[in-house]
Structure 1
Amino acid sequence: MTFISWLNTHYEDRGPMKALAFFFELVAAIALFALMVLTCIDVIGRYFLNHPVIGASELTKIGLAIVIFAVMPVVTWRGGHIAVDLIDNFLPKTVLRIFAFVSMLIITTSLYFVSIRIWELGARMLRRNITTDFLHIQSGHVLQCIAIFSWLTAISALVYLLLTTFRANPQESVLGAKE
């Protein structure tokens, strides 16, 4: 089985989002695997060799940020966020579509402006040369990585908003499958 056929089998996304989803999930998977290895080595070092990995907590925090923010664009594109549908049975579909449009518009603009603020904070941390305590990793680079992933999530939310608003069949999801 070739990589392309495997990708087509396991990813329902269409167009460039298929490759982007694979890339973002690959980044998150590599970071998660590295966290697992780090935790195992730290536990073995801490309890059997009486020598924990120095800076393991810092690397864990950075790794968790990468895992979380790397998959946010994919989850947003696929509409995979948690949604509470307590009032869906009582309101007409048109009102629900308006609510969905307004909420996605708020999410998109919020992500955009929060990303700008995170980027500015990262730039300020880089100017002030703020580093982590043990490993002296530039904290600004981590924040700017989070800002980039948040911008990509905002773009994903905008694309999701446009595709769900202007699709011909409201019963069809963004991925093309029936809901």
Structure 2
Amino acid sequence: MHFSAWLHQHYKEKGPVRWLAFALEALAALALALLMLLTCADVIGRYFFSNAVDGAVEMTEIAIAIIVFAEIPVITWRATHVVVDIMDNHLGPAWVRAMEVLSVLLISTALFFLGQQVFAQAARSIRRNEVTEHLQMPTGYVVQYIGAMCWIAAAGTLGWGLYRLFAGRTPGHGSDAQDIPQ
């Protein structure tokens, strides 16, 4: 099977969003694999050679940040995040649609401003040459990555909300395969 056929089979998104989803998930998978190797090396070194990997805690923290923030935009535009719909059957479709639009606007706005604040902190960190304690790795670039992922998630949330608004679907109606933004 060719890579493009595999990609089309496993990623339902269209156009550049498909490639971005693949790239972000590949980044998360690579970080997870490296984290697994680091943990194995650290445990083997600790128990068999009485010497742990220097900076393993710092590298673990950075890898977890990479994994979590790579998946947030993908989860957002696939609409696979947790949704509480206890009152949907009691309120009716108009209220559900209004609450959905409001939540999309609030969440995307919050993610945008969070990304702005995170970028400001990243700029400050880079300006001050802040580094990790043991490995002396610059922290500002990881913080910039987190800010960029917040902005991508904000755009994904807004795109998902617009899709839901114009596609005429409300959460819980239709199958998950139909709910993926085209």
Task: Specify if TM > 0.5.
Answer: yes
Q: Is the 8 A contact 1:164 1:174 kept in 2?
A: no
In 1: Cα distance, 2:52 partner to 2:23 partner: 32
Instruction: Show structure 1 runs of 4+ deviating over 4 A.
Output: 168-172
> Is 1:50 matched with 2:50?
yes
On the 8 A contact 2:12/2:180 being kept in 1, the answer is no
Q: Give the structure 1 partner of residue 5 of structure 2.
A: 5
- SS of structure 2 residue aligned to 1:42: helix
Gaps of 5+ in 1: none
Answer whether contact 1:115 1:150 (CA < 8 A) is retained.
Answer: yes
Q: Partner residue of 1:78?
A: 78
Q: Which residue of 2 aligns with 1:106?
A: 106
Distance 1:168 1:16 in 2: 24
* CA distance in structure 1 between the partners assigned to 2:143 and 2:78 by the alignment: 25
Asked whether the 8 Å contact 1:77–1:156 carries over to 2, the reply is: yes
Letter in 2 for 1:173: D
Residue by residue, what CA displacement relative to the aligned partner does 1:33-74 show, whole Å, maximum 9, x if unpaired? 000000000000011110000000000000000000011111
Instruction: Give the paired residue count.
Output: 176
Cα-Cα RMSD: 1.3
| Matching of residue 173 in structure 1 with residue 169 in structure 2 | no
Q: Which residue of 1 aligns with 2:164?
A: 164
**Equivalents in 2 of 1:22, 1:141: separation in Å?**
22
Which consecutive residues of structure 2, in runs of 5 or more, have no partner in the other structure? Answer: none
* Partner SS, residue 57 of structure 2: helix
Q: Match of 2:91, SS?
A: coil
- In structure 2, what is the equivalent of residue 59 of structure 1? 59
Q: Relative CO higher for 1 or 2, CA cutoff 8 Å, sep ≥ 6?
A: 2
| Aligned match of 2:121 | 121
TM superposition score normalised by structure 2: 0.93
TM-score using structure 1 length:
0.94
Show CA shifts across 1:75-112 (max 9, x none).
00001111112112211011011101100110000000
CA distance in 1, matches of 2:93, 2:179: 15
